[in-house]
Amino acid sequence: MEKMRSYRRRGAPDFPVALYLSDAAALRKYTKPEYHPETEIVLMLSGTVVMQLDGDTKTFHKGDIYTIPSNAVHCYRVVSDDTENFSLVFGTAAITLQPEHFFQKAFTLPLSEGILLLPPLLTPEHPAYETVYASFQLLQKKRIYEKNYKLQRFSALISICTELLPYCTNVPRGDSLSSQENETVRRCMGYIHTRHANKLTLDELAKMCHLHPNYLCTLFKKYTGQTIFEYLIQFRVETAAELLKKEDLPVGKIGEMVGFRSESLFYRQFKSITSLSPKAYAQEHAKNHRKG
């Protein structure tokens, strides 16, 4: 079955964290396998779902807290109509700190490289369950119109990660659970996410991954279905789209902020992906926002 990469933008460019409350009808839309570069932690509020996760079948019930690793291929089958879950989806950029910071070394970097795996399932008997569940309860109460909602979400996310760290699995490089190839692609994707606004070259990415440029290109295409620079352009355009919704800035300035070196190039790439010019996209969003 064909695997589809999800390009949904998570949260804001300066804080890529999103929360989703999904009922049975919403989950039934995800019957085709997909994957995304973000990590997902899910609380089952009610009902039952069966998930295919990297080829394994897993069943989750009310009260379970389960995790979906970065780039893990997954899809849902809803068992009961009362099914509802609450998802916390975050990119590692949301918890990226200074390189020398202890949390960066102990958690963020290993997680982004795929050599640290969150516990796949927490039930009420798990030692971390109560603290993680309490954080989810807090997250459900916070709304984006609250002045300090980003700080609240960040605090809850760090609390969850800190509580789960003692129960994470360290995966040796080359282990069957996380192949060296997969780790390399994830690392390359993470590098793009954090440096997309800069001028990036294939040689730079290959040097960072300690691979020949041609081999890195082959791996990236194999695991994502896109070339490295198709992925980079897509990510820049998605980031620009979010900025166009939120910032009252000249189009050229937004293009520059996400890494396009000329306004004409930004215009062409944006329109080729969204079918709208950047200006038309901003106007369309503003019109829909007024209607809402």
Where are the domains positioned within the chain? 4-170, 180-229, 233-291
* DSSP run (H or E) holding 263: helix 263-274
Give the pLDDT mean for 23-28: 90
Higher pLDDT, residue 135 or 14: 135
Q: Is the pLDDT of residue 145 over 80?
A: no
Q: Is the pLDDT of residue 176 over 50?
A: no
> What gap in Å lies between CA 52 and CA 31, rounded to an integer?
9
Amino acid at site 249: L
Q: Distances in Å between the alpha carbon of 44 and those of 67, 110, 148, 169, 218?
A: 11, 27, 26, 23, 38
Higher pLDDT, residue 256 or 112: 256
Instruction: State the maximum Cα–Cα separation within the chain, in Å, rounded to a whole number.
Output: 57
pTM (whole model) above 0.75: no
Q: Distances in Å between the alpha carbon of 114 and those of 68, 75, 128, 249, 262?
A: 12, 20, 22, 37, 35
Q: Is the pLDDT of residue 146 over 70?
A: no
Give the pLDDT mean for 99-128: 88
> What gap in Å lies between CA 202 and CA 228, rounded to an integer?
8
Alpha-carbon 110 to chain mean position:
16
Express as a percent the part of the chain with pLDDT over 70.
Answer: 90
Give the pLDDT mean for 140-147: 67
Strands 65-68 and 39-46, sheet pairing? antiparallel
Q: How far apart are the first and last CA of the chain?
A: 38
Backbone CA torsion sign across 246, 252, 253, 258: positive
Average pLDDT for the chain: 85
Among residues 87, 4, 233, the alpha carbon closest in space to that of 241 is found at 233
Q: Which residues pair with 39 in a beta bridge?
A: 90
What dotted CATH number matches 233-291? 1.10.10.60
For residue 4, what pLDDT is reported? 66
CATH superfamily of 4-170: Regulatory protein AraC (2.60.120.280)
Amino acid at site 103: F
